[in-house]
Structure 1
Amino acid sequence: MTATLIDGKAFAARLRQGIAGQVDAMRARGITPGLAVVLVGEDPASQVYVRAKGKQTREVGMTSFEHRLPADTSERDLLALIGRLNDDPAVNGILVQLPLPEHMDEAAIINAVDPAKDVDGFHILNVGLLATGQKAMVPCTPLGCLMMLRDHLGDLSGRRAVVVGRSNIVGKPMAQLLLRDSATVTIAHSRTQDLPSLCREADILVAAVGRPGFVKGDWIKPGATVIDVGINRTPDGLVGDVDFEAARAVAGAITPVPGGVGPMTIACLLANTLTATARKNDLPDPEGLTP
């Protein structure tokens, strides 16, 4: 058996096309969604990511606001900028690119963003709303994973899901989203006892540990759907957290790296910006863009 490839690049392109159509409809009503991205410092990977975000924001018809600050910017000055963006009616979504310089309190910066404009879904209020099953801004990467799972599998109710990784950015919110879709969910990590056996029970396996090739092919249940969130730079290029070739021989479906989860993250950032704009203007949530 060779697993079906879940093409995140193609899925993200379709998602952006749909978002562009909904942006056009909003603009016809005099409403233009605006996304502000703040980058502190000169991290090369972050710079590439911010450029891609700005380009795709403009391509779907939104307004892109980019704020690039030197690495020695004070936390006070960054908080002041966030305050101005919170108050700016043209800005519907705010994203502060992580990681931040070491002299800044990351949690304080994240929680300074207006929760209604928190398109990253990291604010403590949105985290709590998601955990209690209420309407929230949802982190982009888990949202993209959920969209691909629903598209490939349909109803997730009753399926056994294992999420390997417990980060606030992916692992924990991914588990919450799967629970909301009535999957039976286990969160595992590098210290889980007999992790391979646990993974073999999963109909849905989400790997988000940040270790290249961590999940082996013989950890996969035959026919399982594998979502590889990892993006690891190695001498052989970009690889995921799953041993792709070995897993592909066992799984029913799998996301490649690159070209799987990665493209969905920016597309879901745009989706969240559209959702935030709709909510600000007392419009219904955009169809198909929220859990």
Structure 2
Amino acid sequence: MPTTWSLDTPPQGHALSSAAVSALLEVAVGPASAQRLLSAIKQVVPVEYVSLVEFRRERQDVLPELVQGCSDHTHDRDVVAECFAIYRRSYYQSDAVMHLAEQVGRRPAREVAALHCRADELPLAGWRNDIYVRERLTERFSLLHAPAPGVVHAIHLYRDERQGLFEAAEIEQLLALAPLLRQAHHASLRAASAAADLPARVANAIDRLHHGAPRLSPRERAVCARIACGISADGIAAELDIAPSTVITLRKRAYVKLAELGLPAHRMGLARWVN
């Protein structure tokens, strides 16, 4: 039978190496990436494949969708995508992870659930032969968390015959890593969501400035809108294809006009005013 755990803080007595901490920070500050997750996990325990799967409810069913996958080695084909297509077509409804995803979806976002399943514990021979035997996989270790209501993410870790089965100490290390990995992955998902919303936020800020501060020039509005959305001077310069010094000049001019209108003439005030 597959073994499951639920935890929200790392167990006591497990310290991460500086390399593992650095890799987790790389996960947190960048967009969600299977490759970054694999790099972080490899600092603790070797694995061959990582797949990121999202579970969303559609009508009465919860369906798994592959987000990304990667391998520790170069392959001449996309093994993760091929295996997921087989799994999604024929076997996912027999997977214990589906029931666990339902449970996780009802829990606080700070919790993480883990499931460990060896190839010989799979309930269907076809599933075992079509994926695990074909790709010489020995087992899967899964971490699930709910970053938002109605959405559950799974980080699946696979070992192959060269690496053998997880040892008990390695399972303990993965359980210690799980809450921190969840936090890092959650942060990367938030960062990706914020980045996707940024153009709409900038457009909204420009519209607010157009109606509330009509004395600003189009360039001054463009700069102030991006300042209100938290973009740095260098970032604004790159977006507008102007020099950073020009951004500073436009900001100074705009702040004078805003002050004359009795409007906020600083970053935090602008951010509150346009939103």
Judging by fraction of residues, say which structure has more helix.
2
Q: Which has the larger radius of gyration?
A: 2
TM-score for both structures, normalised by structure 2:
0.27
- Structure 1 or 2: more strand by fraction: 2
Q: TM-score, normalised by structure 1?
A: 0.26
